[in-house]
Amino acid sequence: MQKTKKAFAKRFKITASGKILRHAPGHRHLMRYKSSRQLKAAGASRGLGSGMAAQVRYAIAAGL
């Protein structure tokens, strides 16, 4: 059994149904200058496409 690749595990979340979610960028700094609409969008998690999801799933499970 191989170890989990922690760099991937910290950046992505696998849901109970198997979908992979990522955090939207733009929520780290300079929030004072962004509109509330931008901040709301940046706080949400987003899904990955099927091709990238397969690569991330392999990287997390196999330890790359």
The pLDDT of residue 1 is: 65
The pLDDT of residue 64 is: 54
Architecture of domain 6-62 in CATH? Irregular (4.10)
Cβ(14)–Cβ(20) below 8 Å: yes
* Backbone CA torsion sign across 22, 23, 26, 29: negative
**Mean pLDDT within 18-39:** 90
Helix (H, G, I), strand (E, B) or coil at 7: helix
Cα separation, 35 vs 2, in Å, equals 44
Cα separation, 1 vs 62, in Å, equals 8
Task: Assess whether pLDDT exceeds 80 at residue 34.
Answer: yes
**Mean pLDDT within 31-53:** 90
The model's confidence at residue 63, banded by pLDDT at 50, 70 and 90, is low
The pLDDT of residue 22 is: 92
The pLDDT of residue 3 is: 81
